[in-house]
Structure formats: structure tokens, C-alpha cells
Amino acid sequence: MDLKSLLNREQYEAATTIDGPLLILAGAGSGKTRVLTYRVAHMIEDLGIYPSEILAITFTNKAAGEMKDRIRGLVGNEVEGMWISTFHSSCVRILRREIDKLGYNKNFAIYDSYDQKVLVKQCMEELDINDKDITDREIINKISGQKDILVSPEQFKKENEGNFRTNRIADVYLLYQKKLKDNNALDFDDLIYKTVQLFKDYPEVLGFYQRKFKYIMVDEYQDTNRSQYEFIRLLAQGYKNICVVGDDDQCIYAWRGADVKNILDFEKDYPNAKVIKLEQNYRSKGNILRAANDVISNNTYRKKKVLRTENENGDKIKLYRAYSDMDEGRYVAFKIKDILARDKGKQYKDFAVLYRTNAQSRIFEDAFMKANIPYRIIGGLKFYDRKEIKDIMAYLKFINNPLDDISLKRIINVPKRSIGDSTVQKIQNFASSMEESLYNVILDVDEVSSLSKRSVNSIKKFVSIINSFIKSRDKVPVSSLIKEILDITGYLEGLKDSEEADNVSRVENLKELVSAASEFEAVSEDTSLSAFLEKVTLVSDIDNFDEDADSVVLMTVHSAKGLEFPIVFMVGMENGIFPGMQSLDNPKEMEESRRLCYVGITRAKEQLYMTSAETRRVFGRMVSYEQSNFIDEISRELKEYDTVGKSRINNFPNNVLNNNDFLWKKRSNSRNLSEPSGVSAEKDISSDRYLKPDGIREGIKVRHSKFGVGTIVSVSRNGSDIKLTIVFDKMGIKNLMYGIVPLEAV
């Protein structure tokens, strides 16, 4: 394989450095996936290394699938001998073999966030903890954080004996772990936590996997938390042939435990490590790349590198300062329509709208619906989070693991079969007194003397149905088992007979679940129910991203990492939104926010728009934020304001879109870029009815064509620019530039 002709100099060095520790600092768009795939191909084809000796870890199933497909294209089906998977999938695979050593059955359930919340609430009730004093969310986050840093419930309890509040959370942590084990279940964090525990408690198990995996590669190493770091560290102790790939400038997951020190301190962990920087960017136009370099260079805690490209400079970064968040939404919709009208080669799927929080999507959804722009949200309600899907998945989980009390409680009266909450509570009380699982109790339900005869009969019918499913579990495909559940329980028939408006879509969703199972059976080597449940539990939003769907993508910048789009709108670029309020006075969090901005900028291939609003509604109240500091960090020559006729935007989509819809105004080079300027040519403000610059003062009443009557409370002059703060009688506080929309004196 002639790698020299396929890779640039740095890529070639990275792909052919195989032995010993290697750190590949891969800048955004520098072709790291290409390097990793050719590196594996070189190991197998040129060096004769067995595929089974290679472990490649990624962060998403999508990335793992893409890497596997690319390697298959180079070396053929030999790739099937490799482990190419996410951290969690790799750990599940190990635990399915070895978890009995920790006292679990190998058919353990994996609890999702819903199951986890139910179990935590149950623990809180038993410990008499009021949700108003300590919320379930706080407890779940704290438990997750402790598992990320490998702190056991016993250790956490001991460390916090003097703190009443944290000590109560430790009590929940202890009981929660006990109940998980009683249910033969692990939560998502347990998958890595328990694997590390297994390695530390059973050296012979660790030794087996150290000998098996002579070569280890980890992608997105900057996103690893403590438990992931420890998992890799333990495995790599055998041969120390560890290659980690990442970019400290794209470490944006501190809020979920990612520690940028893992990549920054790699050379301390492995003193003889080789470091290779990939700085050639193949994705973005020159101006976009220079803007990204401008922003990230303000961070101090980073490995120094500067992305470069041979691509043309392209357009400048377009800035837009809207009156309001509504105006911002209309602008983005308007601009998308305008670009499509001008460039027939563009499609809706070429556009992405990136924001810092999911709550910001509503404004753009409204604007897109009014403009008939097809869109999809990544990070909204997931398919597997829908009620009807969770109901059937609970049946499957319980059939696979009858010790799973959480799933049993969900399905025992779904669809309704005369087993009410009080009946379930009586069963629970009896089970607790006998230290038995709920399933074992309902198998001998006659012994629960507190139950009525009617309840006993209903439970026996339920047990009969469940036992028939358990018998079918290993005899029929998962798709057939789902059909059996839908048919025998009457779940599907109940939806079809119901007159509720959303039941049609629920039926369609259940059909899609059957299709998902059928697809799983067609492509998977292991088609067992356990394997299907693992696949579903470990799926992420980005795994379901369909690059071919022709619709504008709405997503957070966090979700966009790893993706790229020809045209990107970064919206809500205001101090208080992006960066968030908590970052403004915290240098460490400001650096993380700046990395997030860097990730957003480098998603754009051809054009980048950065928008902000003078006012927006946050938690029901109107607020006014300055334009983001990150925009100010971009060099003047790389950016320009997209000055648009405001009334055109306000009337959109009612106006007729054509190439004259935008009012382009040239800006003086001496004008301050901190605010958009210019007097609208749409109305003649020389008319006596409109307010003149020399007549502007605080306290006078004015009328705005859109916002109505208001009072000027602040006037700020900067050269020819005049910024007004006006309290409108019906629209609240607005910050406006004089002259963009003429004001009438009242």
C-alpha cells in the first residue's frame, strides 16, 4: 500500500508510527479518520498484525461504523476480526463474558435515563427524602459524577459523613447500587465503572485482555473522563502500543466529566511518547479557518497549533444583529430562502443552524414552519424515548431479564388489565419483606394475602402472557417477538380503536420499531434479544443522523461535533447566551465556551453566519445582551455585517422572495464593527413626522411601526451611530439603532 501518495507528510508519519505511545493532535477537518483507517490497513496488510490484536475505540456508533466500512474497503472482511466500537459497547462485550465474577448474571439489563430516574425516586421514598429538599436530578447527576471518577458508594459515604445534604445523597447512592444489583441491572455509567472494577479486582481478567489487545487506538481522546481514561490506561499497560487521537481545542464536554488534562498530560503518562500534529485542514474556506484560529488563540491552556488550508479564502463571515429573537429567526429563514433562490446547486440539507441550548430551537422552528422550510431537530425527543416505544421496550427488557423490577412495574398494567397502583404496592411490600424480586412474588401470587381475588386473577393472566413470551425469546427473531407482544397483549389493537389524535403516529412508530428489529437481524452477527437491547440502549442522537435527508438541521453545537455543512448559522451569539452567564466570570469555563465556539465555526465548509439579537425572551422575561465577545475576537478583515432591509425581514414569509429582497448597504471602513449601522433607504426620514437626530433625548415618547408607543430611557452615541433603549408600552424593553426603522415623535 503506497501510503506516501495517499497522505500528506504528517498524516503519513502518523499512519506508519505503530510501536510505542503516540499522540496525534488532529485539528478540525485535518483528515484524522483517514489517518486512522490507513493506519489500521497498514498494520494488517503491510505489517501482518492480526486484526484480533487491535482495539479501536470511538465515541459514537456512527464513527465506529464509518471507520469499519472504510477499513473494510481497504482490507476486506479481515476487519471483522477487529474490535471497533464505542467505550460502552466494548465494556458491554467484556462484561457479558466476565460480569458473573462481580455477582451479576450475564443477561443483565442496561437501564436508560428513564429507568434510572424511577429507581432513584424509589430509593428516595424509602429513605424519606423529599424531592423539594434534594431533587432526583441532583442525585442522579451526583451519582453519575462519582462513577465517572471511580468513587464507590461506600467511599462517597465515608468522605461526606460531615455534610448532611451530601451524606443523604450518599445514602441514595448506596441503596441505588444495591437495587441495581437486585434487579440484575447496570446503568449507563456502570458499564465502564464496573469494567474498571473487574480489571482491578481480577488481574487475570485484565491480563487476558492486555494480551489480546497488543495495539490500542482511541479517537476523540480529549473527550475522555476519568473512568474511560483508567479503562484505557489499564489495557495499555501490557504492551504500551497506544495511539490516541484528539484535539484539545475541541474538548467541549467538561459538563459530563471530560477532562482536557487527559490529552494535555499524555506525555507525562508516557514519557517516551511521540507527538504528531495534523494542522492541514481540508474542510473549510480560508476565512472561516482564520476566524477559528483567531478565536481559539485566546485560550491559554492548550497545545499550540495553527490550522492551515490550501482552499480559497471564500466569503467573509456574515454578522447580523437582530432587533429580537423573533427577528433573528425570520432572518435565518429569509437568508436560507434567498441563498436557495440565488444558488440552484444548494439544497436544504446544506444548511445547519447551531445554538448553545436546545431551548433556542423553538424560534427557528416557528420561522421555518411559516416559511415552509423543511427541518429536523437533532437532540429533540428521541425515537426510543416515545411512550409507546418505551412500553414495548420494557416488555423486551423484562422478558430478557425477569429480575428487572423497573420494567415489570411499567408493563404490569399496560395495556390496562385491572392491576392498579395499590395492587402493585402491596406486591412490592410483600417482595421487600421477603427480599424477593417482584417476578418471583407474582409467580406465587396466591401467597400475597392482602390481594383481592380479582387482582390475583388479573396477575395470573399477566404471568401467563409473560411466560409465553419468555418461552418464545430464544425461538423467534426479535421482530417476531415484538409482533407477538403487540398482538397478544392487545397493545396495538387498543391504539387502533382509540380516537386520540396522536395514536395514528404511535401505530406508525411501533411499525418502525418492528422495522428496526428486522434491520438489526439482517446486519448483525449476534441477533439475540440481549444484543438488540444493547444496540438500542447505546444508540445516540448522532448515530441516527441521516446526511441524505433534504432538510435544514437544527442542533446544539455539542451535537454538531464531528459533522460538517456547507453553510452554517451560529445563532444566539450574545454574552449571556454564547458564552453563557456562568462563563463570563470564570476563566476555566470561558475557555470551554471558546472551544465550543471554535467547534461551531469549524463545522462550516463554505459560508458562516453569526447572528445575535438586541433583545430576547429568556424564562419568560425580556433581556438585552451585548454581542458575543467571541465575535469581537475575530479579526476585522474577516467579518462584515449583512445589513438587510428590516421591514423585508419583518414581513417574511408574506413578501415575495426575489433577488432584490435584501437591501445591501456598503459600510465605511472607518465604521465600528461592534454594531450594524446604516439608515434604511426604505423610508424617507427627512419627513417632518419622523424624529431627527438632534431631537433625540431621554424621556420623550416615540412610535415604532412594529412595537408601538414607547419612551426613550437611554441614548448612546458613537460617531454617526445612535443606539436607543426604549421601553414600549406593550412590547417591553428594546435596544434599537436609530435610522433603521424611522421613529415618529408622539
286-296 vs 587-601: helix crossing angle, rounded to 10? 170
What is the rounded CA–CA span in Å between residue 504 and residue 509? 9
Q: What are phi and psi of 435, to 5 degrees?
A: 55, 45
Q: Is 633 a catalytic residue?
A: no
Q: Is 17 a catalytic residue?
A: no
- In the block, which residue shows the cell 428594546? 734
What is the rounded CA–CA span in Å between residue 338 and residue 642? 13
Q: What are phi and psi of 589, to 5 degrees?
A: -70, -30
What is the rounded CA–CA span in Å between residue 139 and residue 740? 50
- Is 26 part of any known ligand binding site? yes
Q: How many other CB atoms are there within 10 angstroms of residue 457's CB atom?
A: 13
The set of residues, in sequence order, having a beta carbon less than 8 Å from that of 409 and lying 6+ positions away, is 118, 424, 438
- Is 33 part of any known ligand binding site? yes
What is the rounded CA–CA span in Å between residue 63 and residue 61? 5
- Is 344 part of any known ligand binding site? no
3-state secondary structure of 436: coil
- Is 686 part of any known ligand binding site? no
Cell numbers at 108, concatenated: 443483565
Strand partners, 515: none
Q: In this structure, are residues 293 and 306 in contact, taking their beta carbons and an 8 Å threshold? A: yes
Q: Is 626 a catalytic residue?
A: no
- Is 86 part of any known ligand binding site? no
Q: In this structure, are residues 676 and 643 in contact, taking their beta carbons and an 8 Å threshold? A: yes
Q: Is the dihedral of CA 585, 586, 587, 591 positive or negative?
A: negative
Closest CA to 378 of 364, 390, 389, 392: 364
Q: What are the b/e assignments for 200-238, b being 16+ CB within 10 Å?
A: eeeeebbeebbeebbbbbbbbbbbbbbbbbbbbebbbeb
- Is 29 part of any known ligand binding site? yes
What is the rounded CA–CA span in Å between residue 36 and residue 14? 8
- Is 719 part of any known ligand binding site? no
Q: In this structure, are residues 491 and 414 in contact, taking their beta carbons and an 8 Å threshold? A: yes
- In the block, which residue shows the cell 448474571? 105
Cα radius of gyration rounded to whole Å, the chain: 29
Cell numbers at 352, concatenated: 445547519
Q: In this structure, are residues 65 and 33 in contact, taking their beta carbons and an 8 Å threshold? A: no
Q: Is 32 a catalytic residue?
A: yes
3-state secondary structure of 427: helix
Identified catalytic residue from 32, 39, 302, 535: 32
325-342 vs 361-370: helix crossing angle, rounded to 10? 50
The set of residues, in sequence order, having a beta carbon less than 8 Å from that of 61 and lying 6+ positions away, is 85, 86, 89, 538, 539, 540, 543
H or E element at residue 230? helix 226-236
Q: In this structure, are residues 331 and 644 in contact, taking their beta carbons and an 8 Å threshold? A: yes
Identified catalytic residue from 148, 171, 190, 219: 219
- DSSP E strands, 451-603: 552-556, 565-570
Q: What are phi and psi of 35, to 5 degrees?
A: -65, -45
The length of the chain, given as a count of residues: 746
Identified catalytic residue from 335, 390, 603, 616: 603
- Is 613 part of any known ligand binding site? no
Identified catalytic residue from 16, 17, 33, 280: 33
Identified catalytic residue from 250, 423, 611, 627: 250
CA dihedral 23, 28, 29, 32 (to 10 degrees): 20
Q: How many other CB atoms are there within 10 angstroms of residue 126's CB atom?
A: 13
Which residues line the annotated binding site? 26-33
Which residues line the annotated binding site for ATP? 26-33
Residues annotated as catalytic are 32-33, 219-220, 250, 603
